[in-house]
Amino acid sequence: MSLVKLRLGMLGSIALIIGLGSLVLMAILTYLFGGFGMDIMITALIIVVMFNLLQWLFAPHIIDAMYRVRPADIYREGWLIDTVKRIAKVSGLKKVPKVMVAEINVPNAFAYGSPLTGPRVAVTRRAIEVLNRDELEAVIAHEIGHIKHKDMAVMMLISIIPAIMYWLGIMLMRYGMFSAAFRSRDRGAEGGLVLVLGGLALAALSFIFNLFVLWFSRMREYYADTHAAFSVNNGALKLQRALAKILIDTGFLKRRGVRIEKYETLKALFIADPGHRVIARGYINIDRVIAEIKSMKVSIWNELFSTHPHPAKRFRFLDKLIGI
């Protein structure tokens, strides 16, 4: 996957989700309600947009509470703060992200924030223990890439269309069943059935459009990987090794009985999906693990419902960026 192809894929995803999604909504609602379709769509849009906007604005406080996130300590994690400042400057960010540490026992990192809190980069305590500073540098560069590309705001924006479809679909089905049961004077039982079928169609379309949202989420991970490769010396190789260590350690923790699943609630935030892990036994040769991962065959079903690319495809993509 070339960088040009990656950018075109992301732009195509945005155009498809927002453009085609809006047209589909307008067509279905106009057919069902005639001239009133636009009014219903605008009302639904306002409700869903407000909900998503509030969720986005206050999400950082929820994330801090869920993952026990605290500001990095200048004495204990001063090098982490300096690394973020340096990479933010190289990346051309006007505002340096606030550096945070998540006190959870799983190796990972994430970027988050809103206009209320400003941009933030968080690294988990376990990641600090497992990864060396070169690897953490590449991880931080990846997360700063998300901030530079404004991925949090873009993901919130494109998620609105499927949310509107689903919300309207449920409302139409409920109203249609009520109308059919009580034979409303306006439409009668037949009209109620049409509303139910229209609601089912919207619910099904929301599922399909959510697949495109997931596809876009995977594309943005590749794009953030590219930023790490370009903004850090030998960044692609460092990020490969960091991701491999995260996969290995996640598998090790899972084998020890750590409930990794509880960290999957907001897995779209993480640099690596906690559901992806490698079971390695005995002495670990990191280069051999990377080679084995890259050799895996990946079908469309392996990542169709995933927020992150399959590690094999991701490592092969990073291979193309080594030395650039």
For the chain, the straight-line distance linking the first and the last C-alpha, in angstroms and rounded, comes to: 15
Cα–Cα distance measured from residue 128 to residue 79, given in angstroms and rounded to the nearest whole number: 11
Q: What SS3 state is found at 69? A: strand
Radius of gyration (C-alpha) of the chain in whole angstroms: 22
Backbone angles phi, psi at 121, to 5 degrees: -120, 125
Kind and range of the H or E run holding 97: none
Type of residue found at 76 = R
Beta bridge partners of 113: 119
Query: Among residues 77, 143, 221, 303, which one is catalytic?
Result: 143
Q: Identify which of 201, 147, 152, 156 has the alpha carbon closest to the alpha carbon of residue 32.
A: 201
Cα–Cα distance measured from residue 269 to residue 287, given in angstroms and rounded to the nearest whole number: 27
Bridge-based pairing state of the strands 98-102 and 118-124: parallel
Indicate if 143 belongs to the active site.
yes
Measure Cα distances from 304 to 83, 208, 209, 314, 317 in Å: 35, 11, 12, 15, 18
- Enumerate the active-site residues: 143
